[in-house]
Amino acid sequence: MASNPQLDLFVIGAGSGGVRAARMAAQRGAKVAVAEIGALGGTCVNLGCIPKKLYSYAAHYAEAFEESQGYGWKLAPALFDWELLKTNRAREIERLNAVYETVLRAHDVTLLRSRARLVGPNEVEVDGVHWRARHILVATGGHPLMPPVPGGELAVSSNAMFDLPTFPQRLVVVGAGYIACEMASIFRGLGAQVTQLVRGKQILRGFDDDVAAFLAVEMRKKGVDIRLGTQVERLAAAGDGVRVTLNDGHTLDADTVLYATGRGPNTAGLGLQELGVELGPLGEVIVDADYRSSVPSIHALGDVTDRLQLTPVALAEAMVLVDRLFGDATRRLDYDYIPTAVFTHPSVGTVGWTEAQARERFGGVRTYLSEFRSLKHTLSGIDERTLMKLVVDNASQRVVGVHMVGAEAGEIVQGFAVALKAGATKAVFDATVGIHPTSAEEFVTMRDSAMA
């Protein structure tokens, strides 16, 4: 087989983390190649964050048209065009794909549009050509896990939801996590009849209990039929749709059944096990604090390591890794107080510890909770409420959790994430003057706490 001169870094996967690592390494003078068999940008750009947020924007308009009437607007009935939304989304994603390619080529990164496989601690094979590299980075991301139930092949994953051939008038969503909740909200907003089936006692496991319970109430107000303690027994074809049989014997008929019950790392077929790279129970690459696998020349970051499956985390990990391999190794990533958002309707923003986590970690805590109807909805006629919650460590008086359900929650919580990262105490929050009238000011005006 043919071989090429040695590289400094070979990256497998051109998602957010892989591209960031390749670009930064090349900027530092490293000779870099990237292999990617799919569209550039990975899950976030093509099948995750970006199209999801675009569709979330689209889904808000029906309610916005309704809200506008309370403010004096009179509109003709609006019609939604699924094909036009898909076309416009595809055009934007293609633009972003081109941006990623331009970034790589502008930094003299060799881009290989084919599948890669490790054949040695410092060797990768692509289309019969062997590439040698001092360091190899696995940044191949993850994929949706599909159901092990009879008829499961009739369901679709979140990957398919952005480009369904026809808009599903009846959608069944199976799952309780953020992807399931987001898709349920989005398609309900676009006009579908949505039933969400949740195996456990609440949605959004791992989020603050008050947040999860409050969001379920708000989603139900908007028409999402959330059924807790419900499992699917089997799926079967029924005309042009799917019949869902539940564990209580009842059935649901749907045009589309979405399974959003978890994701797994993309490690199959990479040759990792043959080289002795340690993998976890889901197939994730086990890495140390420096993103080094059990084979020292092979590194991994992002979703393939199954830590925090967030695009900004993969980007930050890439910068830390490149700094260690090709810099002064001073950069570190602290996984505490990483903010995140859930683009449901209404949305969720959160940073820091949930109340349950904080009690376990710090012992005594004090919580501050506020629920209200935002000023906007005093005239909109929409029965939507907002929840805000602070969690404070009694010993240090530091605010260790900020949680919100409401409009623009992610935009608001991002700023408060800086305060938590800086170690702000409740006294600092109290001394901060709010911007009036906004929802965000509630975070600096809460004075009455629950019992410690």
Cβ atoms < 10 Å from Cβ of 78:
11
Tell me the DSSP string of 243-272: EEEETTS-EEEESEEEE-S-EEE--TTSST
Domain of residue 350, CATH code: 3.30.390.30
User: pTM for the whole thing?
Assistant: 0.95
- Here the tokens at position 283 are 């197939």
Rounded Cα gap, residues 165 and 159, in angstroms:
13
- Which pLDDT belongs to residue 271? 97
Instruction: Answer yes or no: do 402 and 424 share one domain.
Output: yes
451 within domain boundaries = no
With tokens 């799926």, the residue in question is 235
Instruction: Answer yes or no: do 53 and 179 share one domain.
Output: no
End-to-end CA distance of the chain: 68
Instruction: Answer yes or no: do 178 and 102 share one domain.
Output: no
- Whether 192 has a pLDDT exceeding 80, the answer reads yes
pLDDT band at 330 (very low <50, low <70, confident <90, very high): very high
The domain boundary, picked from 326, 353, 375, lies at 326
Domain of residue 286, CATH code: 3.50.50.60
Into how many domains does the chain fold? Answer: 3
Instruction: Answer yes or no: do 242 and 176 share one domain.
Output: yes
Instruction: Answer yes or no: do 256 and 270 share one domain.
Output: no
The domain boundary, picked from 244, 261, 278, lies at 261
Instruction: Answer yes or no: do 229 and 319 share one domain.
Output: no
- Here the tokens at position 62 are 């029906």
100 within domain boundaries = yes
Give alpha helix (H) positions in 385-451. 409-421, 426-431
Domain range holding 83? 2-144+264-326
Instruction: Answer yes or no: do 91 and 26 share one domain.
Output: yes
pLDDT digits (tens, 9 = 90+) for 26-62: 999 999 999 999 999 999 999 999 999 999 999 999 9
393 within domain boundaries = yes
- Which pLDDT belongs to residue 432? 98
- Whether 448 has a pLDDT exceeding 90, the answer reads no
Tell me the DSSP string of 70-102: GGT---PPP---HHHHHHHHHHHHHHHHHHHHH
pLDDT digits (tens, 9 = 90+) for 380-419: 999 999 999 999 999 999 999 999 999 999 999 999 999 9
Which residues are the active-site residues?
436
The domain boundary, picked from 227, 242, 261, lies at 261
Q: Which residues contact 311 (CB under 8 A, 6 or more apart)?
A: 16, 44, 48, 49
Pair type for strands 298-300 and 263-265: unpaired
- Which pLDDT belongs to residue 306? 86
pLDDT digits (tens, 9 = 90+) for 148-181: 999 999 999 999 999 999 999 999 999 999 999 9
pLDDT band at 450 (very low <50, low <70, confident <90, very high): confident
pLDDT digits (tens, 9 = 90+) for 116-138: 999 999 999 999 999 999 999 99
Instruction: Answer yes or no: do 116 and 130 share one domain.
Output: yes
pLDDT digits (tens, 9 = 90+) for 356-366: 999 999 999 99
- Whether 3 has a pLDDT exceeding 80, the answer reads no
pLDDT digits (tens, 9 = 90+) for 70-114: 999 999 889 999 999 999 999 999 999 999 999 999 999 999 999
With tokens 């978890």, the residue in question is 262
Instruction: Answer yes or no: do 133 and 6 share one domain.
Output: yes
Please tell me whether residue 331 adopts helix, strand or coil conformation. coil
Instruction: Answer yes or no: do 246 and 275 share one domain.
Output: no
Instruction: Answer yes or no: do 9 and 92 share one domain.
Output: yes
pLDDT band at 451 (very low <50, low <70, confident <90, very high): low
> For the chain, what is the largest distance between any 2 Cα atoms, rounded to a whole number of angstroms?
72
- Which pLDDT belongs to residue 147? 85
332 within domain boundaries = no
- Which pLDDT belongs to residue 345? 97
- Whether 452 has a pLDDT exceeding 60, the answer reads no
Instruction: Answer yes or no: do 161 and 303 share one domain.
Output: no
- Here the tokens at position 313 are 């985390």
